[in-house]
Structure 1
Amino acid sequence: MMTLLKSAKIIDQSSPFHNKTVDILIENGIIKEISPSISSSENYKEYNFENLHVSQGWFDSSVCFGEPGFEERETISNGLKTAAKSGFTAVAVNPKTNPVVDNKSAVEYILNKACGSATKIYPIGSLTKNSEGKDIAELFDMQNSGAVAFGDYNKALNNANLLKICLQYAQNFNALVLSYPQDNSIAGLGIVNEEVNSTKLGLKGIPTLAEEMQIARDLFLLEYTGGKLHIPTISTAKSVKLIKEAKQKGLDVTCSVTAHHLTLTDDELKSFDTNTKVLPPLRTSKDIKALIKGVENGTIDMITSDHNPIDIEHKKVEYSNAKNGTIGLESLFGATNTVLATETIVNALTTNAKNRFNIKQTPVNIGEQADLTLFNPEGENLFLKENIFSTSKNAIYLNKPTKGTVYGVIANNKIEL
């Protein structure tokens, strides 16, 4: 079947049609024609969306699906459908599973379960066996089986020498190493940002120092070893400064920030809503300003949802006992679109992120495979429960204002709209 998108404004700096409003004709998953007007034929499936914008498919560098082991939270199948409806044609999935993805069989299992979806899955292998931070996992074998990077999700590597060895070893096959930024000896038993609100509410705090010390340590190690380092989900103003200085030195380092850290402060804690319990914790307006500036000037390379489904049994409990995590695929664009320019968001979800994780670029151009995200950047909305496609409903953005609408994706020779 031929698919015709009418009056689509293309947002893709790698495309010769960037910022032009055109019709796009797709046949068997390939873009056949792009022109100001294409006449519809009887066998064309035509789509007319309000204020339609099209970019190359978005990529989220940090999502969790429960399968295997936590299928009650999210299966791979439903997770990929959620990603597609949220505008993502590719996701990197963390090894937060049971068993942990620390060997090639586990990588191959995830890839096989994802066959036939509009959204492609890219497994992140565990950096250490069982994500315990003691011994290096089978990195080379996992990369040969399809893993795109290696890290222990939301677990800091306390052993500096082990990270040094990982960075040295990974260079032999040009692998990307992820290091979660938290010094556990400083964070202690903290559960929220250490600031005025934590004191007022009687909640144990995690100082920004915990993140910044770990980043400083990791950057020193990277300077010593060489290699490729990615620091996921930074959250403080000083973290942005440290990474900017490292890049100016020529170190091969990238970082990401979550949509909720770009838009929400620790004032959210006053509700004691356990959906606000995330790691790293929500910080202050000063941090938000620095993070937004970091995305705008390229210090922060990519935006992520850090999508982390948690079942109700582990969220509808006392705040101190609740598990960390929020779902975020469905709300990422609408949330970030309230504080960033649309083109900035698209760049942070496409070119920058894909390059780092070695994922093929697919510009919106004639002859290219259709790997498209369809959206409308205008319009004020509230993020409601009916906007959630995930099995788990632990959404930090529930009942909060968003801007814009995601229509879905055309990718992998499939349509999810």
Structure 2
Amino acid sequence: MNMLLKSAKIIAPENKVLHLKKRDILIKKGIIEKIAASIAVPSNTKVIDKKNLHVSLGWFDSGVSFGEPGYEERETIANGLKVAGHSGFTDIVLNPNTHPVPDTSSDVVFLKERASGSATRVFPLGTLTKNAEGVDLAELFDMRNAGAVAFYDFKRQIANPNLLKIALLYAQNFDGLVFSFPVDNQIKGKGIVHEGEVSTALGLKGIPSLAEELQIARDLFILEYTGGKLHIPTISTADSVKLIANAKKKGLDVSCSVAIHNLMYTDESLNEFDTFFKVSPPLRSNNDCKALIKGLKDGTIDYVTTDHLPIDIEEKRIEFDNAANGTIGLESAFGSLNSIFGLDKTIGLLTKGRERFGLDIPQIKEGNEACLTLFDPDAESVFGTDDIRSTSKNSMFLGASLKGKVYGVISNNQITI
């Protein structure tokens, strides 16, 4: 397919030649053929001319969940990838929260085959342990060869410190990346929301910040002993930021991410007992929220993630104690971040992360494959149910004022607009 983007303002802070310039971009058979101030429309070419059209490198998300296999009623891979494309994401890392979980090479191959041919590319995570049970290591090396980019028991504690030690040592043989979810279940106990004034006022069992920080401190001690590469997904407390900052000063190979909803909302959103705000890790205090934003600005926190997690409505419209954790976040990601950080920083955050997973980093350059996200950064809207393309509708962002509109992506010789 041949396409011509007309008068697209390029947002590429790392490219001093093209950044903030308005250009026509001609794409033939998935390759950027020409970038110029004005290009005549060739025959058999689709012209894309949108209001206030901006373009950047395709966006990347290090933590997206769908449902297939096992929970297709939540989200299939096919529809989930359409949602990701319409939300501006050309590349996603797929969480292993399916049934069965992907703990063998054949499982990883299945996921990649189901995702082939889409504009948005999928990079699966394999589980760290068999059946994600935290007992025996899964087939890490075989899964890596099949295409798994890292290993993660999705939102489950690695309770056995020796297991993490062995995993970090073993994964060094093939430069593998190990995830460790930051929670100590014994400290967490039966807690379901952040422990603080709000949980006390609402009579809900709290999860102390210590439950996250103790696990992170333990994992960092183990990493210092073993070496290797560790990623801590979705941190949520101010002291977690400090722990990771200190570890980086020591030279440890550790990275971390934060969920966008932990930047937008605090535990004060729980006052109406709306289960759409029940997530793991929980929404924390205002001070935590400020520390997370500061951590992103100074580079302590490496990546943002939508932590997109579709959940059946039947598992949300029940008593708060029994409701499932999770919110969808792909559709609201750009508008949320843009309202907090402004355009340049937002694009920097959304295009960062591929290098940690050993993936190629695209460039807006003649002769390169087109991997582009198209958007209008100035459009303002209130996020509503009509904006949700996901099969599951469990979004805590409903009613939020967002800044920015995504048109879609051009990637993998495909277009989603």
TM-score band w.r.t. shorter chain: over 0.9
Residue 368 (structure 2) aligns with: 368
1:175 corresponds to which letter in structure 2?
A: G
- State the secondary structure of the residue aligned to 2:55: strand
Distance in 2 between residues matched to 1:359 and 1:316, nearest whole Å: 39
Distance in 1 between residues matched to 2:298 and 2:9, nearest whole Å: 24
1:17-416 to 2 correspondences below 5 Å: 17-350=18-351, 352-416=352-416
- State the secondary structure of the residue aligned to 2:258: strand
Deviations 1:174-231 (A, max 9, x none): 0000000011111111000001110000100001111111111111111110000000
Distance in 2 between residues matched to 1:8 and 1:224, nearest whole Å: 50
2:413 corresponds to which letter in structure 1?
A: N
Distance in 2 between residues matched to 1:366 and 1:390, nearest whole Å: 34
Q: How many residues align?
A: 416
Distance in 1 between residues matched to 2:45 and 2:73, nearest whole Å: 40
- State the secondary structure of the residue aligned to 1:133: coil
Deviations 1:130-156 (A, max 9, x none): 111111010000000000000111101
Q: CA deviation at 1:379?
A: 2.4
Q: CA deviation at 1:63?
A: 0.8
Residue 3 (structure 1) aligns with: 3
Q: CA deviation at 1:316?
A: 0.9
Q: CA deviation at 1:42?
A: 4.1
Q: CA deviation at 1:241?
A: 1.0
Distance in 1 between residues matched to 2:56 and 2:298, nearest whole Å: 21
Q: CA deviation at 1:413?
A: 0.4
Distance in 2 between residues matched to 1:219 and 1:344, nearest whole Å: 28
- State the secondary structure of the residue aligned to 1:125: coil
- State the secondary structure of the residue aligned to 1:250: coil
Work out whether residues 12 and 363 of structure 1, in 8 Å CA contact, stay in contact via their aligned partners in 2: no
Q: CA deviation at 1:262?
A: 0.7
Work out whether residues 102 and 130 of structure 1, in 8 Å CA contact, stay in contact via their aligned partners in 2: yes
2:72 corresponds to which letter in structure 1?
A: E
Distance in 2 between residues matched to 1:269 and 1:242, nearest whole Å: 27
Deviations 1:298-326 (A, max 9, x none): 11111100000001111111110001001
- State the secondary structure of the residue aligned to 1:386: helix
Distance in 2 between residues matched to 1:342 and 1:188, nearest whole Å: 40
- State the secondary structure of the residue aligned to 2:223: helix
Distance in 2 between residues matched to 1:46 and 1:60, nearest whole Å: 28
TM-score relative to the length of structure 1: 0.98
Deviation larger for 49-58 or 251-260 = 49-58
Q: CA deviation at 1:8?
A: 1.2
1:220 corresponds to which letter in structure 2?
A: F
Gaps of 5+ in 2: none
- State the secondary structure of the residue aligned to 1:211: helix
2:227 corresponds to which letter in structure 1?
A: G
Distance in 1 between residues matched to 2:39 and 2:285, nearest whole Å: 50
Distance in 1 between residues matched to 2:375 and 2:157, nearest whole Å: 36
2:76 corresponds to which letter in structure 1?
A: T
1:98 corresponds to which letter in structure 2?
A: H
TM-score relative to the length of structure 2: 0.98
- State the secondary structure of the residue aligned to 1:320: helix
The alignment-based identity, stated in percent, is 58
Distance in 1 between residues matched to 2:163 and 2:342, nearest whole Å: 40
Distance in 2 between residues matched to 1:384 and 1:295, nearest whole Å: 27
Deviations 1:378-402 (A, max 9, x none): 1221111011111100001011111
Q: CA deviation at 1:14?
A: 4.0
- State the secondary structure of the residue aligned to 1:269: helix
Q: CA deviation at 1:341?
A: 2.4
Q: CA deviation at 1:48?
A: 1.3
- State the secondary structure of the residue aligned to 1:108: helix
1:296 corresponds to which letter in structure 2?
A: K
Work out whether residues 14 and 363 of structure 1, in 8 Å CA contact, stay in contact via their aligned partners in 2: no
Q: CA deviation at 1:2?
A: 2.3
2:374 corresponds to which letter in structure 1?
A: L
Deviation larger for 293-302 or 338-347 = 338-347
Deviation larger for 287-296 or 141-150 = 287-296
Distance in 2 between residues matched to 1:72 and 1:383, nearest whole Å: 23
- State the secondary structure of the residue aligned to 2:23: strand
Two-structure CA RMSD over aligned residues (Å): 1.0
Deviation larger for 30-39 or 340-349 = 340-349
- State the secondary structure of the residue aligned to 1:381: strand
Distance in 1 between residues matched to 2:343 and 2:322, nearest whole Å: 38
1:107 corresponds to which letter in structure 2?
A: V
Gaps of 5+ in 1: none
Q: CA deviation at 1:289?
A: 1.0
1:298 corresponds to which letter in structure 2?
A: G
- State the secondary structure of the residue aligned to 1:338: helix
Distance in 2 between residues matched to 1:293 and 1:339, nearest whole Å: 11
Distance in 1 between residues matched to 2:342 and 2:229, nearest whole Å: 29
